[in-house]
A and B are shown apart, each in its own frame.
Chain A
């Protein structure tokens, strides 16, 4: 690791908990009580769970009763899709740039293409829905984790509704970065993850606009109104609630990150061949996905890490294998160019100094790499 404070620019992977969340967690971790126990300690725990449910619901304009707490975004995506189609025999249509937890939620989802900017092809969706009378579920993310590109989810919904389909939206990356309202989006279900909005890891939610019937994945004591069994993760839930409150308050701050994003992009794009993905369309203010021509992402990351800067080559996956991004591939980017792309994502703790240090370090890496190439040639 480098010199002074490290610069963390990987907020789409995870964020540190916000100070108010830390305080709430510290208190909640000190609580005893199973929220399902009937004695005083249990009832106190229950109250905290229900308060948080209201706070999480408020972040996305939903009813508290629609909130099912899960262990995170991945479980919520699985629950939404598997839970809604099981027994109902629905086919599943997803965009090509969805998170893997959506892509893998069923064996063979129907993939709807995106355009060169990563935006779903609404015509293709309409055609796919019209091609088949079977009941369907459409799952389209609100904002992409790699490029920040925002999907026209309200249009997706109205199209889907025309065909009688259910709509699920993975809003893990959008929540806390842009305003999200389940009613305005016209969707049936929405996924949230706490650790992407300054809350703790290990907690998320599936939010239903109405009272979506779901076959549970995890069965047992009948918690979460029988939609998700298991003792409630009380500190996690409390931390999630506070994070939701803070994220809602800080939406203007999140939107304001575009100033720094634009500064990064202006600064870096002056170099020849640098490409910014999704630059021409509606995007999150905190994310930029861009190439350094001729320099493999891996090489950039190692050099940036030495300079104390944490960014990523794409989504934080498990595999350890470096695979080409399915998101960039779906946008028609050649594998060779995609391999030179990194993702820079800012968040609540990002400072102007971070931005400056990133830009300087990136340029350093670029200059050195090009110098080397020249020497070699």
Chain B
């Protein structure tokens, strides 16, 4: 853009280094280019069947659907657009539960999920619990991964759905999706995975992994906000009860006019991710290793949370003993980092994820999340690590801890 961007508080050069890629990702300029015509000259309603404007928009939406399907090895008719991963997760969990929980005589009213799931999965489950469903929340090990044996034991004849996320938004660990899928398939229960943090970051294949439902977010894969997708398997068919009814769009599973530019953006983002995933992952792996090397060389009392192997390269979750993360992030004015998930509430609660790993409240409060991504450069890592090291050292100096805690 040539005009000055009034939305930026400060010029580009002076902006903080963005290291919060799990909260949201900047949009890829290629995505933006693909979207823009659909706001203006190609503005039609994709459901208008009566004229060129509608057909043009519909064609663009269907192309996007195919691009998303290709990213996860699905068929394009298996992709439903939603307003985001939160809606997708709600629709998958409540939609399957409400449909299968209502059969007279053969009601399936049990769901298995996990303690470290995203808040919207936990909240959707809690809502079902209030409606009489039984929910099993699997524990995780100190590495953040579930135990397959515990999952096997948790599934009963009443179970209709297992919902386990692909990649955790706070600690970046990758759950064993293929093994979970195989186990669910064998037990005859549907398997939903929240892939908001996984899609475009790791290879996902709904058939190889026996996944029946998968949630995807636009703004976590360098696409736009306000759009997401839900993969719904057609063979064997997964049926679900809609949450939003009306014109019957998205094969009756999600009514409402599809936002063409946003659909196009998600499609483009998916295609770019599919093409560049491997290269990006190895680049980020290098940056992450660099980040860790620098930190661990200079600082003691640093805990790396989450499994060291089964994880995406674009995330680090670190606890600095003796340091309050709030003080740390407040002191790091030139870095945009988070001390947990970007939640709505301004209230600071201890992370339910870190709690599930067995971290003490004290260590949990000493934890920050570093998110690396497509536009993170080596310079950013050098700058960020120097800044973090200096600030941690300063905070430890002004507030020295008992040696036992280090």
A→B interface (CB under 8 Å): 1, 6, 8, 10, 13-17, 22, 25-34, 36-42, 44, 48, 70-75, 77-78, 99-101, 104-105, 193, 195, 200-203, 217-224, 226, 229-236, 301, 304-305, 309-313, 315-320
B185 to A: closest C-beta gap in Å: 28
Contact at A27–B246, with CB atoms within 8 Å? no
Known contacts A29-B224, A104-B246, A218-B90: does B6 contact A318 (CB below 8 Å)? Answer: no
> B217-237: contact bitstring with A at CB < 8 Å (1 yes, 0 no)?
101000011110000000000
Residue pairs across A and B with CB atoms within 8 Å: the count is 276
Contact at A316–B246, with CB atoms within 8 Å? no
Known contacts A25-B39, A201-B262, A220-B120: does B52 contact A1 (CB below 8 Å)? Answer: yes
Central interface residue in B8, B53, B85, B345, by most chain A CB within 10 Å: B53
In this complex, the interface size class of chain B, counting residues with CB under 8 Å from chain A, is 35 or more
Contact at A301–B50, with CB atoms within 8 Å? yes
Contact at B89–A220, with CB atoms within 8 Å? yes
Contact at B52–A305, with CB atoms within 8 Å? yes
Contact at B50–A305, with CB atoms within 8 Å? yes
Interface residue? B317 (CB, 8 A): no
Partner of B39, one of A32, A77, A200: A200
Interface residue? B27 (CB, 8 A): yes
Partner of B120, one of A15, A73, A78, A219: A219
Interface residue? B104 (CB, 8 A): no
Binding-face segment, B40-48, B68-76, B270-278, B378-386: B40-48
Known contacts A15-B43, A231-B24, A316-B257: does B244 contact A27 (CB below 8 Å)? Answer: no
Residue of B nearest to A37 (CB): B342
Contact at B258–A219, with CB atoms within 8 Å? no
Interface residue? B390 (CB, 8 A): no
Interface residue? B297 (CB, 8 A): no
A residues less than 8 Å from B47 (CB atoms) = 13, 316-318
Interface residue? B359 (CB, 8 A): no
B residues less than 8 Å from A301 (CB atoms) = 50-51
A377 to B: closest C-beta gap in Å: 29
Q: How far is the CA of A105 from the CA of B256 in the complex (A)?
A: 12
Contact at B90–A233, with CB atoms within 8 Å? no
Interface residue? B350 (CB, 8 A): no
Interface residue? B261 (CB, 8 A): yes
Q: How far is the CA of A200 from the CA of B227 in the complex (A)?
A: 13
Known contacts A27-B1, A200-B39, A219-B124: does B9 contact A44 (CB below 8 Å)? Answer: yes
Partner of A229, one of B32, B120, B244, B257: B120
Known contacts A74-B246, A231-B219: does B338 contact A39 (CB below 8 Å)? Answer: yes
Given A37-B23, A226-B344, 16 more pairs with CB closer than 8 A:
A1-B52, A10-B50, A10-B53, A32-B24, A78-B243, A202-B261, A220-B86, A221-B119, A222-B119, A223-B344, A229-B123, A231-B24, A235-B225, A310-B44, A318-B47, A320-B49
- A selection of 18 A-B contacts at a CB cut-off of 8 Å is A8-B53, A14-B45, A16-B41, A27-B6, A32-B25, A33-B336, A75-B244, A78-B244, A78-B255, A200-B259, A218-B90, A218-B243, A219-B124, A221-B119, A232-B225, A310-B51, A319-B247, A320-B49
B residues less than 8 Å from A73 (CB atoms) = 256-257
Q: How far is the CA of A310 from the CA of B41 in the complex (A)?
A: 14
Central interface residue in B23, B45, B83, by most chain A CB within 10 Å: B83
**Which residues of B in the span 1-38 have a Cβ within 8 Å of any Cβ on A?**
1, 5-9, 16, 18, 20, 23-27, 32, 35-36
Partner of B1, one of A26, A99, A318: A26
Interface residue? B268 (CB, 8 A): no
Q: How far is the CA of A200 from the CA of B43 in the complex (A)?
A: 9
A99 to B: closest C-beta gap in Å: 7
Interface residue? B343 (CB, 8 A): yes
A residues less than 8 Å from B387 (CB atoms) = none
Known contacts A74-B255, A320-B49: does B338 contact A235 (CB below 8 Å)? Answer: no
Known contacts A37-B338, A105-B245, A232-B225: does B54 contact A13 (CB below 8 Å)? Answer: yes
Residue of A nearest to B343 (CB): A221
B residues less than 8 Å from A10 (CB atoms) = 45, 48, 50-51, 53
A22 to B: closest C-beta gap in Å: 6
Known contacts A34-B24, A218-B86, A311-B50: does B261 contact A77 (CB below 8 Å)? Answer: no
Contact at B7–A230, with CB atoms within 8 Å? no
> B197-220: contact bitstring with A at CB < 8 Å (1 yes, 0 no)?
000000000000000000001010
Contact at A101–B225, with CB atoms within 8 Å? no
Interface residue? B260 (CB, 8 A): yes
A residues less than 8 Å from B41 (CB atoms) = 16
Contact at B225–A41, with CB atoms within 8 Å? no
Central interface residue in A201, A222, A234, A301, by most chain B CB within 10 Å: A201
Contact at A231–B257, with CB atoms within 8 Å? no
Q: How far is the CA of A101 from the CA of B246 in the complex (A)?
A: 3
A residues less than 8 Å from B25 (CB atoms) = 32
Residue of A nearest to B6 (CB): A27
B332 to A: closest C-beta gap in Å: 9
- 7 closest residue pairs by CB, A with B: A220-B120, A202-B259, A233-B226, A101-B246, A71-B83, A310-B51, A74-B256
B119 to A: closest C-beta gap in Å: 5
Residue of A nearest to B219 (CB): A231
A residues less than 8 Å from B48 (CB atoms) = 10, 13-14, 310, 312, 316
B50 to A: closest C-beta gap in Å: 4
Partner of A230, one of B40, B83, B244: B83
Contact at A104–B245, with CB atoms within 8 Å? yes
Q: How far is the CA of A327 from the CA of B245 in the complex (A)?
A: 18
B residues less than 8 Å from A218 (CB atoms) = 83, 86-87, 90, 120, 243
Q: How far is the CA of A32 from the CA of B35 in the complex (A)?
A: 17
Contact at A101–B344, with CB atoms within 8 Å? no
B residues less than 8 Å from A34 (CB atoms) = 20, 23-24, 219, 342
Central interface residue in A26, A217, A224, A233, by most chain B CB within 10 Å: A233
Interface residue? B376 (CB, 8 A): no
Known contacts A10-B53, A42-B23: does B83 contact A233 (CB below 8 Å)? Answer: yes
Q: How far is the CA of A200 from the CA of B39 in the complex (A)?
A: 7
